[in-house]
Amino acid sequence: MFAYFWPKFDTHEIRILDDAKVENVRLTDRFNSRQHIIGTLYLTSTHLIFIDPEGKRETWILHSLISSVDKLPTTQHGCPLRVRTKHFLSAEFTIPKERDCADLYATLNQLKPDSYEKLYCFLYQAPNYLEKIWDPFLLTTEYMRMGVPNVDWKIEDGNSNFDMCDTYPPLIYVPTLTTKAMLFGSSKFRSRGRLPVLTYLHPNGASITRCSQPLSGFSARCQEDEQLLQCILKTNPHSNTMYIIDTRPRINAVANRAAGKGYENEGYYSNIQFKFCPIENIHIMRNSLQKLLETCEMKNPTMNQYLNALDNSSWLQHIKSVLDAAIFIARAIEIEKKNVLVHCSDGWDRTAQCCSLSSLLLCPYYRSIHGFRMLIEKEWLSFGHKFSDRCGHTTTSDSKEQSPIFLQFIESVWQLSQIYPTAFEFNERFLISLHDHSHSCQYGDFVGNCEKDRLDLCVKERTYSFWNYILQNVNDFKNPLFCPQSSYASEVLLPVINPQTLKFWLSMYHRFDSALLPKENISNTLTRLVDHTLSLSDHARLLEKRIRELHSIFDNDRTKIPTTTSSSTTTTTTTSNEDVDDSDIEKGNHHKKISLSELDSGLSEAELCQTRIIDSISLKSNTILQPLPTLSSSDVESGFSGDYSPHGKTPLSSFTLPHQSSIDTNDIPTIERIALELNSIALDWRSYHTPVHCACSLPFDSAQRKYNCWKCGENFCARCIERGIHLPGLYSNSSAPVCKTCARSIKSSPSFADFSALVKSKSTEFIRNQTAMKLSRSMIDQFNDDR
């Protein structure tokens, strides 16, 4: 039997125990059985790790992401074991000895958690920068953002002990005209007690409400339920009728009648327009994903075979049906100004998909990272999507309950982001991470089947939050094409989905097959360009400052000599709060002053004079650098020049100097300091598409961000990057991502100690201001801004 060991996260130091590893394991390429690499397989309590020391490759597989382990027929090389994961990795390991293979197979199966308490989130030790802090999500705040409660809608606390419905949140929002008796009566008439409640209120007064199917059978009726629907209808002054959308195929809804469930009888509910928007059930969706994944595993298919297999999976057909239903709801709200009540069977799968997607189309706020979080918290977490059952978090959940409902939602959002590339603040990596962590159980957010489960498990006290992880790494998840000013980013989206509109999501389902992925990802390339430009502009600001300081000395010296130039005395002296005033560290550091002959900045007096004029004009626009979707002449002015060549002409001016008019000869930087500054910034950055693996051997897949080290310019993965390093060559308070080797070399440099002492003192003040800003930014303020 394998003993297992605990790895140290975010480090390379893996303590290897002899009985937890198998050597000479062959990892075979899934498309080409002749291609393989030989390495060692390690088993830890949390991961299965394959390391090929020669080829420098590592594959880490989190146990909670493993979906199946299969023993394949023995070959001449040993016993193959195929490990498939919920994030679409399929790895075939051939173990030389049959006994080792049997042991590994048994242990991997044993490691699957058989209770909530054994889930990864209760063991996970996050890196130091992440704390067990949960940014509070308050349902009341999200409803206040929508202007609720108001004259038509009120908060109802009848579910505070989960008496009405144990899969709903404690507080629900219902029409003001309703009574408790009406609500309790309706909840008894609805499957699982999931009565109609408000989920989205549009500025035009039309609303989306959600519930489960009525227990109507062939003829049963419920007066309270009928009254509740009439109250919902009356909240909207613009329409005398409302829609009830049943998101099941009609035949399924009819079949449910035989079981005493079904759908609303139009004869009993007045002024109702009933409509089916057919989306298949969880079992058909599970089979469809299975067929899609089989298509992805086809070895050397012909075009026909591939297209037929993709078609037979019906995956894109199902995505289209989900999007069509959501678009129908959005049109009913925006164009017809009618209230819509949505349900399926229990109202936690198709209903969650349709309500969240239609809200996303209707409200631009939900297309921001913060807003999207609110959408997930509200529609998926608060209203009880069964994450643990649908994702199969523990072995106790029924395998027939598993279904890719959340994945379909994520993919539908991705398809929309392909139609409207500038409308979403988040990128593809964000969506992939969200999907993966709904399965990984690394964070406590998606554990359990409803709010009550998470309260019982005390996840907020015991685990880390996925949203905190996103917040701490938010730049990794931003879409560089997002343009908040564009009409698509600020208006209701009502696309028409044709079959030709939908794409196969290569970087989700083939993310580990680098040979199949595009060689260059435009979004990543843009992010890299924005970062590179930021580093160069910031460095240029510092160089400008140095040149001016030296020039001032030159001028001071000249005052002793009659001179004809006078530009140096006509300076602008605007200062920016963000600028690092590094005169302090230079004090007492003046043992080696620069002589006048070393001061030649290479700029003529006229150029310097021009620089100062540009400074005074462009100071504002350069203080905060924003990612820009397109380049224009004004962009060139603001430093986003089309000339990204590190050897190209650095744009003149991005700031004015705090001390340029009164420079003290004691404030002059030393040669060592200037050398440190110049050497701390890479002018050339390696392009993203070159390396497939990080230097640490970890493969880059589409869910992993590649970072350029700002000092050496090479590509690294997240675990090889050190954050929080303030580079001497930058003229700002912000820290930059630096590889661990560069971080060591910078820290060991003699001038760095002085520099970091200064930055620390400046940063403390800066962070204090930032924290104060964060704390004071209440959700309400943000809501007001977003409106």
Candidate list 165, 344, 355, 739, residue with the active-site label: 344
Determine the interface stretch with Zn ion among 417-425, 530-538, 724-732, 741-749 (rule: CB under 5 A).
741-749
Whose Cβ is closer to Zn ion: residue 495's or residue 699's?
A: 699
CB of 641 to Zn ion, least distance (A): 25
Q: Contact, 277 vs 262, CB < 8 A?
A: no
Nearest CB to Zn ion, comparing residues 470 and 717:
717
615 CB-near residues (< 8 Å, 6+ apart): 572, 574, 653, 654, 655, 656
Q: Among 51, 450, 742, 746, which residue interacts with Zn ion (rule: CB under 5 A)?
A: 742
350 among annotated binding-site residues: yes
- Residues binding Zn ion: number (CB under 5 A): 10
**Side-chain half-sphere exposure of 51, counting CA atoms within 13 A:** 12
Interface with Zn ion, residue 725, by CB under 5 A:
no
Q: What character string, x for contact with Zn ion (CB under 5 A) and - otherwise, covers 94-113? A: --------------------
Pairing of strands 242-246, 715-716: unpaired
Residue among 198 and 709 whose Cβ is closer to Zn ion: 709
Give the x/- contact pattern for Zn ion in 636-675, rule: CB under 5 A. ----------------------------------------
Nearest distance in Å: CB 519, Zn ion: 21
C-alpha–C-alpha distance, residues 464 and 443, integer Å? 5
Which of 316, 333, 341, 720 binds Zn ion (CB under 5 A)? It is 720
Q: How far is the CB of 746 from Zn ion (least distance, A)?
A: 9
39 contacts 52 by C-beta, under 8 angstroms: yes
Within 327-356, the residues that bind Zn ion by CB under 5 A are none
* Residues in region 357-416 near Zn ion by CB under 5 A: none
**Residue/partner pairs of 634-639 with CB below 8 Å, 24 or more apart:** 639/533, 639/537, 639/540
Residues 6 or more apart whose CB falls under 8 angstroms from that of 40 comprise 21, 22, 23, 24, 25, 50, 51, 53
Q: Tell me the C-alpha distance between 24 and 34, whole Å.
A: 16
**Residue 265 annotated as lining a ligand binding site:** no
Residue 698 Cβ, how far from Zn ion at the closest point, in Å? 5
Do the annotations mark residue 348 as ligand-binding? yes
For Zn ion, the closer CB: 10 or 581: 10
The verdict on whether residue 345 carries a ligand-binding annotation is yes
Contact between 694 and Zn ion by CB under 5 A: the answer reads yes
Q: How far is the CB of 745 from Zn ion (least distance, A)?
A: 8
Q: What share of the chain is helix, strand, coil (3-state, %, to 5)?
A: 45, 15, 45
Which CB atom, from 517 or from 696, has the smaller least distance to Zn ion?
Answer: 696
- What the block records as the tokens of 489 is 């980013």
Count of alpha carbons within 13 angstroms of residue 693, beta-carbon side:
12
What residues have CB less than 8 Å from 197, skipping those under 6 apart?
168, 172, 173, 174, 209, 210, 211
Euclidean distance between CA atoms 324 and 498, whole angstroms: 10
Establish if 739 lies at the interface with Zn ion (CB under 5 A): yes
Closest CA to 359 of 504, 210, 140: 210
Contact (CB, 8 A) for 703 and 697: no
Annotated ligand binding at 165? The verdict is no
326 scored as a contact of Zn ion (CB under 5 A): no
Q: Which stretch binds Zn ion (CB under 5 A): 202-210, 409-417, 628-636, 705-713?
A: 705-713
Q: Cα 133 vs. chain centroid, distance in angstroms?
A: 18
| Residue 344 bears catalytic tag | yes
Shortest distance, position 704 Cβ to Zn ion, whole Å? 9
Structure tokens at 703: 């869910």
- Least separation in angstroms between residue 476's CB and Zn ion is 15
The Cβ of residue 311 has, within 10 Å, a number of other Cβ atoms equal to 13
Q: Which is nearer to Zn ion, 71 or 719 (CB)?
A: 719
Among 103, 488, 712, 782, binds Zn ion (CB under 5 A): 712
717 binds Zn ion (CB under 5 A): yes
Mark 40-62 as b/e (b = at least 16 C-beta within 10 Å): ebbbbebbbbbbbeeeebbbbbb
Q: Choose which of 293, 529, 678, 696 interacts with Zn ion (CB under 5 A).
A: 696
736 near Zn ion, judged by CB under 5 A? no
* Residue 717 beta carbon to Zn ion: minimum distance, rounded to whole angstroms: 3
245 binds Zn ion (CB under 5 A): no
Q: Which residues are catalytic?
A: 344
Instruction: Indicate the annotated binding residues for substrate.
Output: 281-282, 344-350
Which residues belong to the annotated binding site? 281-282, 344-350
Q: Which residues bind Zn ion (CB under 5 A)?
A: 694, 696, 698, 709, 711-712, 717, 720, 739, 742
